[in-house]
Amino acid sequence: MTLRVLTLNIWNDDGPWEARLPLIRAWIARLGPDLIGLQEVLRGPGTDQLAAIAQGSGYHLDYAEASRFWRDESLAFGNAVLSRWPIVARHERLLPGPGDLELRSALTVLVDAPFGRVSFTNTHLAWRLHHSEVRQRQVVALFDQALKLRPRGGFPPIVVGDFNAEPDSDEIRYATGLHTLLGRSVHFRDAYEQVRRRKGDADAGYTWNNDNPHAAQVREPDRRIDYIFAGYPTQDGLGHITDCRLVCNEPEAGVWPSDHLGVYAELQILSSTKG
C-alpha cells in the first residue's frame, strides 16, 4: 500500500480557467491522491476555486490565505489542502517576505489516516528569480513549522508546494540537508530526485516548462520548481518514496491544466497496516 500525494500550482483564475478546471478535476480523479496541496487558490465573494475543484469528491478541505489577490482585493490568494481523511489539527503562518506586498504563507495540517496521523505542509514561496535570499529565510521558517508540528514517531512529515527555486539553489539544498542557513540544517528527501536516481532517469523534471504555452508566454527559463519532500523513512520502510512523476502535463484541445506541471508521489505504508 502507498500514500498518494499531489501538488499543483493552479495559476489562480488566469488563462482559460473555465476550460482548465475540468482538466484539474480529471487529473485528481485519475490519480486518486490521498493528500493534495494546491497553490494560488482564490476564495472570496462569488469565487471559491477550492470548492470548485473539490466538488463531489468527498475530500476534507483546509485553506490558508497568503495575501489579497492583486487583481481583486475582495479575494484571498493562498494555499489549499485536500485530504482523504479527517483533518484533526492545523496551523498556518505568514512566511518572512521581501517587505512589499508579496506575502507568502504555509499551511500544516494533521490528518487522521487509518495507519496513523500524518503531518502535511503546503506552501508557495517568493517568485522573483533574484529573491533567493527571501526564499532562504522562508524555507527555514517553513521546515521549522513542519518539524515542530509532526507527530512523534510514525509517518514522516511531508512538505509540498511551489518553491520557485531550482534543485541546486541554496534554499532547496537546505531542504535536503546539503546546506546550512541561519545556523540551521534539516534533511528531507526530494521525491522526484530520489526516484530519478533510482531509475537512472536523466529527465530534469521541469515543472515550469516552455512546452506549455501558458508558461511560455512569460518567457522564463525551463526549471524544476515544484516539489514533494518527505522526512526520512523509518527503519521498517514507513514513508519510503516508491514513485514520483510529473502530472497535469498533457493538453486537451490546446488547453493545459495550469501554467505549472504537477508532481505526484507515492510513499510506502507498512504492509501490516490496514486502510
Domains of the chain by residue range: 2-268
Query: From the CB of residue 115, how many other CB atoms can be counted at a distance below 10 Å?
Result: 17
The model carries a pTM of: 0.95
Rounded Cα distance, 21 and 29, in Å? 13
Angle at 96 between CA 181 and CA 73, to 5 degrees: 155
Helix-strand-coil split of the chain, %, nearest 5: 20, 35, 40
Task: Tell me the torsion sign for CA atoms 213, 258, 208, 265.
Answer: negative
CATH class of 2-268: alpha beta
Q: What is the mean pLDDT of each run of 10 residues along the chain (275 residues)?
A: 97 97 98 98 97 97 95 96 97 86 91 95 93 95 92 91 97 96 94 92 92 94 97 90 97 96 95 44
The DSSP H or E segment spanning 26 is helix 17-31
